[in-house]
A and B are shown apart, each in its own frame.
Chain A
Amino acid sequence: MPSVASSATRLFNGFFEWFGSLGIFSWQVLRAAVTPPYEWRELIRQLDEVGSKSLPLVAMAGAAIGVIISLEARYSLSRFGAKSMFPATLVYSVIQVMGPVITGLVVSGRVGAGMGAELASMKVTEQIDAIEASAINPYRLLAATRILACILMLPLLTLATDACALLTGWFAQALVEPLSFHQFIESGFSGATFNAFLPQTFKTTVYGLIIGLIACFQGMRTRGGAAGVGRAATNSVVLASLFLILADVVLVKFILVFFP
């Protein structure tokens, strides 16, 4: 019994310790980020890493999602005799839900794992200590640039996903029955408002923040050699995806309340 109690206590301690460390880490990164000098060269490298290099992946994911929704929606809608609602169904489901979430998950997999592993190996090979010794703030150079790159690039990647999904969705529909792209867009966006679309797209900055923060945090607190690197990579992907989905619950409610 004492062993169970003590292990439970340890688990709780570990849980709160993790959140506490994350809070301290966030504060240090924020403080480092807002004070000069700014690491522009590293930021551009990270923007390219997160943004342009993720584009093929999210584009393909988006294309696949477009086809999937197109096929599913056509089947369900024709059962209810509401086939004319098809463009609107596709546009709304892609832009409001599928686009942001799929982009977030794909980017968290690719970027989160990459960042976690990179920073963890730097940590275990004591490169981070070396940077710190050469009077450069590793939070500013390594963490702030990566996190900012994620925050900036996620909405743009989401737009790319949306565009690809709508194109392939329309294409999949047009193969079955004739539907001009213009008609598709006209009908799909009828009754569309900015409140329905812009908040949904730009909430992915929060996804970017979560992905970057957790990946950097997990990477920079790694201990214990090669095994630690692997663990850090896995943890950053899993935790980033989990928190992303959880954050979405709050974000959706927030958007519905403030952007009706």
Chain B
Amino acid sequence: MTERTAKGVFWGGTLSSLALFLALTVDTHGQFAALTRADKLDDTVVAGKRVFERYNCNDCHTILGFGGYYAPDLTRAYTRLGADAIRRRLAQPEVAFRDSYRKMPNQHLSPAEIESLVAYLEWVAGIDNHDWPPQDSEARWKRSTERLLAAAALSPAAALVQQEGCLSCHALGDRGERQGPRLERVGARRSAAWIGEYLGDPQRLAPGSEMPGYQHLSAAQRQMIGEFIVALAARGGER
């Protein structure tokens, strides 16, 4: 390779990449308004962005995935938490995260600062960014719930729960009674095997319980109901 060719590689490579990059930058600017809902970007939102920067929030939290990695991403904080929960965290983080192993500093924000931050996070949550982050994707949540509901309607275990009238004492979702514990909570606390055994003889595992026994079901059927209830457990929840 001659020096002339080498210089050609340098200028050809640099200028072609630069030309492409600048052309796309111009085009991107034309599309930002629609993709970020710039019409909703009012002075309160901008004031929120200034508050966000004044207290250096971004060096612990990420937003659009950029920033410190020490605290949750805030891109969809508004859809995940809602305005009220955001307000409580901002006003009294030492209370909101009392039991957490990681703390958030109390920045002594004024009520106006808190409101502008809420407006800012609401605007950010509406940015069309190819549905990132995955854990906060509403499309994913809905798909997952639909799958769960479809499986529940078809599953033999769901049919057993209906047939045995479990919901005449227990609550499940919006349905059922409140005499016994809510089934989602049981699912979060107990294993499928434990529930199956309990159904066979409630008095043995919980003397004095008002729960009737289900000895007439086979062990396999009782185990199936146990697995169904464990699957209903609300996932994790926030700390």
The reply to whether chain A is a binding partner of chain B is no
Which residues does A use to contact B, with CB under 8 Å?
Answer: none
